[in-house]
């Protein structure tokens, strides 16, 4: 299974400022290539989602965003999140009803999200081979899947 994050990086601090800069540059390029507009609001929501490697809910984002724009409403956040998910820049963690930034958005991938139940850190790994196996198995039973999300809950290196 190809890794989207370096396992050693999960075990030690990294340069998060560099991580953020690379993510924002990737976002700008992806949006430009797809003819999509990364507006100031969308960019700020992406910055907030990616400000740590922890899952964050929409209302937490709203609270943070209201520090910049006190009149912001939930619809502002949800519209920005919809755009960011469509562009492949953000992943929704269904089990937490929360979001994480995709740190490898420029690479086509199907991921499994690893979620620490203690600190809520979340990381993704490429699980393309797992997806392929599941879709092949479903075809054999004449089942047509429309979506698939794989999440693993447990403890990260720091919390275990």
Tens-place pLDDT, residues 112-156: 999 999 998 998 888 889 999 999 999 999 998 887 889 999 999
pLDDT for the residue 98: 95
Model-level pTM? 0.83
* Whole-Å CA distances, 103 to 74, 130, 133, 146: 25, 20, 25, 24
pLDDT for the residue 75: 96
Helix (H) or strand (E) holding 30: helix 16-33
Strand order in the sheet with 150-154: 122-126, 111-116, 150-154
Helix axis angle, 40-49 to 58-65, nearest 10°? 120
Q: Percent of the chain at pLDDT above 70? A: 90
Residue holding tokens 């519209």? 79
Domain 11-154 has CATH 1.10.10.10: yes
Helix (H) or strand (E) holding 34: none
Token reading at 83 = 């755009």
Please say if the pLDDT value at position 3 is more than 50: no
pLDDT for the residue 13: 57
Q: What is the domain partition of the chain in residue ranges?
A: 11-154
Q: What is the DSSP letter of 54?
A: B
Token reading at 99 = 């979001």
Average pLDDT score over residue span 22-48: 93
Q: Which of 136, 103, 139, 146 is nearest to 122 (CA)?
A: 103
Please say if the pLDDT value at position 71 is more than 80: yes
Terminal CA-CA length for the chain:
23
Q: Which pLDDT band holds residue 9 (cuts at 50, 70, 90)? A: very low
pLDDT for the residue 140: 94
Q: Going by C-beta distance under 8 Å and a sequence separation of 6 or more, which residues neighbour residue 138? A: 144, 145
């Amino acid at each position: 299974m190809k890794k989207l994050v370096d396992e050693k990086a999960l075990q030690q601090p990294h340069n998060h400022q560099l991580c953020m800069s690379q993510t924002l540059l990737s976002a700008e390029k992806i949006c430009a290539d797809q003819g999509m507009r990364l507006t100031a609001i969308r960019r700020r929501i992406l910055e907030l989602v990616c400000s740590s490697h922890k899952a964050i809910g929409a209302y937490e984002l709203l609270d943070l965003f209201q520090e910049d724009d006190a009149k912001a409403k939930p619809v502002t956040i949800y519209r920005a999140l919809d755009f960011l998910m469509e562009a492949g820049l953000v992943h929704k963690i269904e089990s937490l009803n929360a979001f994480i930034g995709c740190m490898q958005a420029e690479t086509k991938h199907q991921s499994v999200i690893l979620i620490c139940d203690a600190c809520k850190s979340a990381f993704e790994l490429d699980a393309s081979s797992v997806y392929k196996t599941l879709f092949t198995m479903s075809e054999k039973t004449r089942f047509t899947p429309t979506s698939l999300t794989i999440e693993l809950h447990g403890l990260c290196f720091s919390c275990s």
